[in-house]
Structure 1
Amino acid sequence: MSRLLALLYGTACYAVFLATFLYAIAFVTGAGVPKHIDNGVPATLPVALGIDLLLMTLFALQHSVMARPAFKRWWTRFVPAHIERSTYVLASSLALALLLWQWRPLPLTVWEVQGDVARVAVHALSATGWLLVLSSTFLISHFDLFGLRQVWHHARGRGPAPETPFVVRALYRIVRHPLMLGFLIAFWAAPTMSLGHLLFAAVTTAYIVVAVKCLEERDLIAQHGDTYRAYQRQVPMLLPGRIRPAAVAESSVNAPTAFDAKRSTR
């Protein structure tokens, strides 16, 4: 019964994540949802800035602190290891849902792309960013990332899910963090950029750069040592650039494919 409950819990956490993530896409693009980034409860500029910055700070703190190895070691003293990742996914989804719910719009237009063809092209670029986010999760381990693999192994009585070997391939041979690159493209590719959208894009960009460089990559170096240092030298972090020949060939060793601050492999 406990195995079944853990499986149901993990599946429910994934469902909450999926619903929240899909709504977040519509929230950022302003498509098909009643409340998006440029509408909602009006507020004065100082109040809106304060609330929006607080919401993004809360999300960043939850997202980063709970992903740190030291926190996980402490947290799994109280939460079973096989549902630790699912619990993290649920907490992240709830923090994101709070941001989407309480966001205060700043609708002043900063720039606007003119012409139907140009606007369609920008929308297509945004969609490409979201597809890059999704495809990047499957290039590592989508179901491990969102806790389903862990609860499935537990439900089958196999004990802790073994670590998934990292394989440097496809997009991860071009940039170390293609998922984060996808988010950056999706956030900045807006045919109409409002002040609120610009605030959201700028703050999330700063958070991604700091979290990846100062937190995620530090954890990966601690875990993989010289293997990851070599990967850093061979492949750019976020922006495609010159790739050294050693990184071009597919590698099946346990070489890390970088992800974001929330990633955890079991």
Structure 2
Amino acid sequence: MTETQIVHPPVPGNPILRFTAFLFGGVAYLTFLFTILYAIGFVSGLAVPKTIDTGPKAGLFEAIAVNLILMSLFAIQHSVMARKSFKHWWTLFIPRSVERSTYVLCASLTLLLLFWQWRPMPTVIWNVQEPEMAMVIATVSFVGWVIVFTSTFLINHFELFGLHQVANNLVGREMQPPVFRTPFFYRFVRHPIYLGFIIAFWAAPVMTAGHLLFAAVTTAYILVGIKLEERDLVDMFGDQYRRYRERVSMLIPWHKLS
């Protein structure tokens, strides 16, 4: 999930429309919560009916093709709808107050489609059989998810997922202009949300071919997405973000790669 948001004033007028927008934003947020919690189980293989290593059997080439298509659909939706030009066009047809909620809902539905139609590739790449070490690796994966959630709250969790916008719109209050801040994790890496996802995806006691494909493709997409997002951040914050980029690492703490 991108860390940048476009802030819009509320839609004036009919209170019923404002309340409808608020309900829509609430549904989008609850859908996101369900999706992200299911994602933890999907990747970790815990407590969900279908995981990354279960589901209908398919041939190797079919599995690769279907899984790549599913991940490409998410990448296209996630990237295109995050661009300023698309937002400008899209808000000609929908209220600005629900733009972020619409983005979040579409991303969640695309991920749910991926979970539903994912084809397992069960060939084992590695299997950590020593129980204590396997537990350590599983814990590291859980820490990755904690970093993801914590990082969203460090900036503005409810704005990031659209709920703040529809709540302000409901009471007729304008959104405040974006403020550049670097709390806690953001002092060590520029993109802790993405770092958390990478940790969660790669820290696996049992790594199958399907899990490896998922982790590799999503990591590649994250690296591309960072470049696009940082372009938007430079446009938004100018030299302030350029100086931040010069002194803080992109993903690896205290190691200046870019």
TM above 0.5: yes
Give the structure 1 partner of residue 253 of structure 2: 240
1:62 to 77, 83, 91: 77
- Paired with 2:195 and 2:255, the residues of 1 have a C-alpha distance of 16
Contact 1:112–1:193, Cα closer than 8 Å, also in 2: yes
1:113 is aligned to 2:128:
yes
Superposed CA offset, 1:90-125 (max 9, x none): 000000000000000000000011211001101100
- Whether contact under 8 Å (1:38, 1:194) holds in the other structure is yes
CA contact (8 A) 1:140 1:166 kept: no
Report the Cα offset of residue 164 of structure 1.
3.6
Where 2:47 maps in the other structure, the secondary structure is coil
Q: Which runs of 5+ in 1 are unaligned?
A: 244-266
Residue 181 of structure 2 is matched in structure 1 by 167
C-alpha deviations, 1:195-237, integer Å up to 9, x for none? 0000000000000011102x00111111111111110101000
1:153 matches 2:168: yes
Give the deviation of 1:242 after TM superposition. Answer: 4.6
Give the SS at the match of 1:128: helix
CA contact (8 A) 1:141 1:164 kept: no
Give the length in aligned residue pairs: 241
Query: Which residue in the other structure is 2:5 paired with?
Result: none
**Which of the numbers 211, 216, 219 marks the counterpart of 2:232?**
219
For 2:183 and 2:169, locate their aligned partners in 1 and report how far apart those are by CA, in whole Å: 29
Identity of aligned residues (%): 55
Aligned pairs for 1:87-98 (under 5 A) are 87-98=102-113
Measured in 1, the distance between the counterparts of 2:82 and 2:201 equals: 23
Instruction: State the superposition RMSD in angstroms.
Output: 0.9
Distance 1:77 1:149 in 2: 21
* Equivalent residue in structure 2 for 1:208, among 217, 222, 235: 222
- Paired AA for residue 233 in structure 2: L
Shift of 1:166: 2.3
Q: Which runs of 5+ in 2 are unaligned?
A: 1-15
Are residues 1:25 and 2:67 paired? no
Q: Give TM-score scaled by structure 2 length.
A: 0.92
Equivalent residue number for residue 40 of structure 1: 55
> Equivalent residue of 2:177, what SS?
coil
Q: Which runs of 4+ in 1 moved over 6 A?
A: none
User: Would you say 1:183 and 2:197 are equivalent positions?
Assistant: yes
Q: Which amino acid aligns with 1:139?
A: L
